[in-house]
Structures are given as C-alpha cells and as structure tokens.
C-alpha cells in the first residue's frame, strides 16, 4: 500500500517531502521531510489525512527523537533541525494516508 507525503510550502519555511513512499503491511518505513529554513523557535508538527477525512495530529518535536503512539513509530528531528523523519514501525493498511510535516512557532 502507499503512504503519500506531498511537497508543500508552509509560510516562509519551505517544506519538501518525498511525493510517494510505499511499503507492505508490517514493514517499517520512514517518511522524510526537509525544512532547511526553519526558525530556532519553531517546532515540527506531523499530521496525517486518511481518505475522505480531515487531517489529524500525529506528533510534534523540536529536536531529537520521541515515540509516536498512533500510528506506532518514532518521530526524529535532526540535530541541525533541517530535516525530520516519521518512522512507522508496523504500518497496517489502515495507515495508508497523506502525511504532512509543518514547522510552526
């Protein structure tokens, strides 16, 4: 199944995401996001949008790595904060969605 992450521009912080990530059920996958112009005070927010649903919050981080509850996995923000990755540990078909990252203060 497919996990889609669109390239989006969030304000002045240009956010770049890979257009398509594909995996099989139960096989972990990382969705990457680049945000090179992020301000030092901004956090990285991740959302997902299931088909025919509104976007829902997944996790937020400033730097480092933290566990994500739903979907199960981990959010990691690089030490230089120029990029982040959302790792889905054991994705199921129900996790097929559009995943967004966005910096915000």
**How high is the pLDDT of residue 43?**
94
Instruction: Tell me, letter by letter, the H, E, C secondary structure of 47-98.
Output: EEECCCCCCEEEEEECCEEEEECCCCEEEEECCCCCEEEEEECCCCHHHCCE
pLDDT in tens, 43-79: 999 999 998 999 999 999 999 999 999 899 999 999 9
Mean pLDDT over the full length of the chain: 86
Output the pTM of the full model: 0.84
Q: How would residue 103 be classed by pLDDT, with cut points 50, 70 and 90? A: confident
pLDDT higher than threshold 80 for residue 33: yes
Tokens of 65: 């790595």
What's the whole-number mean pLDDT along residues 22-35? 90
Per domain, the residue ranges of the chain are 26-104
Q: How would residue 15 be classed by pLDDT, with cut points 50, 70 and 90? A: confident
- CATH number for the segment(s) 26-104: 2.60.40.10
| C-alpha–C-alpha distance, residues 83 and 95, integer Å | 22
């Amino acid at each position: 199944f497919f996990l889609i992450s669109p390239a989006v521009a969030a304000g002045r912080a240009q956010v770049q995401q890979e257009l398509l990530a594909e995996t099989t059920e139960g096989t972990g996958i990382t969705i990457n996001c680049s945000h090179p112009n992020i301000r030092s005070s901004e956090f990285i927010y991740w959302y997902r949008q299931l088909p025919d649903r509104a976007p829902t919050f997944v996790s937020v981080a400033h730097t480092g790595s933290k566990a994500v509850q739903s979907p199960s996995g981990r959010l990691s923000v690089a030490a230089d904060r120029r990029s982040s990755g959302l790792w889905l540990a054991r994705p199921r078909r129900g996790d097929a969605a559009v995943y967004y990252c966005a910096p915000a203060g």
